[in-house]
Amino acid sequence: MTFWQVAKKELQRMFIKERKIAMLLIGIPIIYSVLFGLVYKENAVKYMPTVVYDQDQTPLSRSLSQAFGDSERYNIVAYVQSQEEVEEYLREGRAEVAVVIPAKFTRDIKRGAGTEVLVVVDGTNLLFANSVISSAQEIVQTFSAGVGMNLIEAIGQMPNEALNKTVPIQFGVRILNNPTFAYSHFILAGIGAYGLQLGIMLAICTALNREYKRLNDWHGVSSIRLVLGKLFPYWAVGVAAFVIYMLIVVHIFNLPFKGSIISLMLSGAAFVLAVVAVGGLFSAAAPNEVYAVQLPMIYIMPALLFSGYIWPHLAMNEFSLAFSKILPLTYMADNVRDLMLSGYAPFLFRDIAILSVFSVVLLAVSTLIFAKRRSRYEQA
């Protein structure tokens, strides 16, 4: 059999005889993209149930509450009259955030004694805390600057001057690449890649392993041709699945894509090759088909979290960095996101090179292992 005949036979197995394989390979990345696209559609944790405890009840304090209510992030569910009520709401999960305005709020401001607004958030889910952090400070600061301005105007300064003296240093923050902190922009590319990896690993696990029982089918076919021929269709279909999930996240979930398509394809192709190579290695080396699918688990499942895509490399200790270095996802997910959000991925070519070398080495090792075991079985 030639290389192409081996590949064609495997393709037939994937799509006709054992359709589950193609379904896993293509289905998982697509389903994951859709499922997670749906979850993160809103992009920010908005409408956080908020309870307001206004101990002042003056026009000024009420306009501060209004400032929170006007924000999409906060959904004021109740105005309460006591500290106990605040705690009850938070404890019972009826509110995640509480805004507490002290008594004598207006009076203290007018007297120049200063005052403090307390915002309480339940930190058991950090996403709430993050959403509060990225919004509450600004609301209060803006409000405060406006109030300060009025105060100093009362002393007889011109409005602009007054503003400059109250908040002399204007602070502009420009967030590049994801200015709206859209969660889907942050996460979808990586989750799709993770789904792709999972689909490939689950589909490929039996590919080489099952042939140990069927060596008669492969008389006269060299191990190289067998291994490469069988793995090739997984690479080709894997790349197709990659394209499909990218199309889904860009066109259905409106993720930006600012980079070059060629760079994206190279990155995707190199990644799929590396995952195929890893899967092939486990398939060649595992004692039986069950182990072939179960052994790689500890390697695949933590991949997204260890890749630096979510928890950044700069926050990792040495052990985590080391583990992260042996995962293909580490060399692809961040690059794809950079290509999408900023149009430029500084480590793209370095990472593609690493993935390529990694793939070649693993494919060679897989072939060697397969050849050795095959001759052992054939002798027996």
Partner 1 sequence: MKFLQVFKRELRQLFLKDSKRACYLFGASVVYVVLFGLLYMTGVVNYVPMVVYDQDQTQLSRSLIQAYEDSDRYEVVAYVTSQEEMESYLQNKTAFAALAIPPDFARDIKLGRASRILLEANGANIIIANTIMSSAQEIMMEFSASVGKSLVETIGQLPDQSLNRAAPIDFRLRVLNNPILSYLEFFVLGVAMAALQQGILLSVGSSMTNENFEEFRDTKPVVMLLGKLIPYWLGGILSYVMALLIAVQGFGIPCRGSFISLVLIGAVFAATVAVMGSLMALICKDEVGFTQLSLSYTVPAFIYSGYTWPLHAMDSLSTALASVFPITYMAGNVRDIMLAGYAPMFYGDVFTLLAAGLVLFIIALRLYSRKAKLRISRDQTAVV
Binding string, residues 308-347; x marks residues near partner 1 by CB under 8 A: -xxxx-xxxx-xx-------------x--xx--xx-x-xx
Among 1-9, 142-150, 258-266, 363-371, the segment contacting partner 1 (CB under 8 A): 142-150
Cβ closest to partner 1, residue 112 vs residue 220: 112
The CB-of-263 to partner 1 minimum distance in angstroms stands at: 15
Binding string, residues 154-183; x marks residues near partner 1 by CB under 8 A: -x-x---x-xxxxxxxxxxxxxxxxx-x-x
Query: What's the CA gap between 228 and 78, in Å, rounded?
Result: 65
What φ, ψ does residue 34 adopt, rounded to 5°? -70, -50
- Residue with structure tokens 């060679």? 364
Q: b vs e for 270-302, b when ≥16 Cβ sit within 10 Å of the residue's Cβ? A: bbbbbbbbbbbbbbbbbeebeebbeebeebbee
Binding string, residues 227-266; x marks residues near partner 1 by CB under 8 A: ----------------------------------------
The CB-of-58 to partner 1 minimum distance in angstroms stands at: 13
Name the token pair of 71.
């924000």
Cβ closest to partner 1, residue 65 vs residue 115: 115
Cβ closest to partner 1, residue 325 vs residue 376: 325
Which of 78, 224, 285, 305 touches partner 1 by CB under 8 A? 305
28: contact with partner 1 by CB under 8 A: yes
Q: Which residues, numbered 81-140, are part of the site for partner 1 (CB under 8 A)?
A: 90-94, 109, 112-130, 132-134, 136-138, 140
The CB-of-103 to partner 1 minimum distance in angstroms stands at: 15
Which own/partner contact pairs does 113-120 have at CB distance under 8 Å and 24+ positions apart? 117/64, 120/86, 120/90
| Total binding residues toward partner 1, as defined by CB under 8 A | 113
Cβ closest to partner 1, residue 196 vs residue 228: 196
In the sheet that holds 97-101, the strands lie side by side as 74-79, 48-54, 97-101
Query: What's the CA gap between 17 and 10, in Å, rounded?
Result: 10
Cβ closest to partner 1, residue 180 vs residue 216: 180
Radius of gyration over every alpha carbon of the chain, rounded to an integer in angstroms: 29
Burial class (CB in 10 A: 0-12, 13-18, 19+), 32: buried
Q: Which residues, numbered 45-84, are part of the site for partner 1 (CB under 8 A)?
A: 45-47, 49, 64
The CB-of-53 to partner 1 minimum distance in angstroms stands at: 13
First-to-last alpha carbon distance for the chain, in angstroms, is 24
Cβ closest to partner 1, residue 4 vs residue 347: 347
The CB-of-275 to partner 1 minimum distance in angstroms stands at: 15
The CB-of-361 to partner 1 minimum distance in angstroms stands at: 25
Binding string, residues 180-209; x marks residues near partner 1 by CB under 8 A: -x-x--x-------x---x---x--xx---
Q: Which is nearest to 32 in space by CA: 264, 190, 251?
A: 190
CB atoms within 10 A of CB 318: 7
DSSP 328: G
The CB-of-320 to partner 1 minimum distance in angstroms stands at: 5
Which of 242, 245, 306, 370 touches partner 1 by CB under 8 A? 306
The residues with which 48 forms a beta bridge, in sequence order, are 74
Q: Which residues, numbered 281-300, are part of the site for partner 1 (CB under 8 A)?
A: 289-291, 293-294, 297-298
Ramachandran class of 326: left when φ > 0, alpha when ψ lies in -120 to 50, beta otherwise: alpha
Cβ closest to partner 1, residue 116 vs residue 217: 116
Listed in sequence order, the residues at least 6 apart from 280 whose beta carbon sits closer than 8 Å to its beta carbon are 204, 207, 208, 227, 231, 362, 363, 366
